[in-house]
Amino acid sequence: MAGLEGVERPRRRADVPATGRTPSTADEQARGALGLFGDPAAEEVRLPSRPESAGAARRLAESVVLRKWALSPQLAEHVVLLVSELVGNAVRHTGARTFGLRMLRRRGWIRVEVRDPSRGLPCLMPVQPLDISGRGLFLVDTLSDRWGVDLLPCGKTTWFEIRVADR
């Protein structure tokens, strides 16, 4: 490349994924999240309503999809992104102290639920190419097969479902 002669470019080790984490580190973080918060595929997991809880929710979702359910990495990537969006909305817009995360699998489908004590409904907004926020539900609408909100006596559950191929 012009102007870069003699400059050594860093090379990625073959055993380290593009994320920069070794597989054992990712496994260790997933086990740590499961040990600390519980398994959202077994029962609803309660997380504090703080921005850093989005990372824990992502690790939990990834662990369930990849390790427990043995589904594809691409599906795990979509689920992790959508979990992050729903958790972000719960943290940002509800004023709640905690929220719940639950993951369900039934033949041909997975369902992810985020429950919070607010009865305020999320709103799917039109998205423009240069918008810097407001894309969360647009992504949920685009990447999931269906999504919705169930009002509860004290709050709501926002959920999405994705079709999966059963083996």
- CB atoms inside a 10 Å sphere around CB 61: 26
- What domains does the chain contain, in order, with CATH numbers? 23-163 (3.30.565.10)
pLDDT of residue 11: 42
Closest among 164, 145, 148, 165 to 156, alpha carbons compared: 148
The first and second tokens of residue 100, run together, are 């719940």
Q: Which tens digits make up the pLDDT trace of 18-30?
A: 444 455 676 676 6
The answer to whether 90 and 116 have CB atoms below 8 angstroms apart is yes
Q: CA–CA separation, 139 vs 80, rounded Å? A: 12
Q: Which tens digits make up the pLDDT trace of 55-87?
A: 999 999 999 999 999 999 999 999 999 999 999
Instruction: Considering only residues 93 and 129, tell me which one the structure prediction assigns the higher pLDDT.
Output: 93
Confidence of residue 133 (pLDDT cuts 50, 70, 90): low
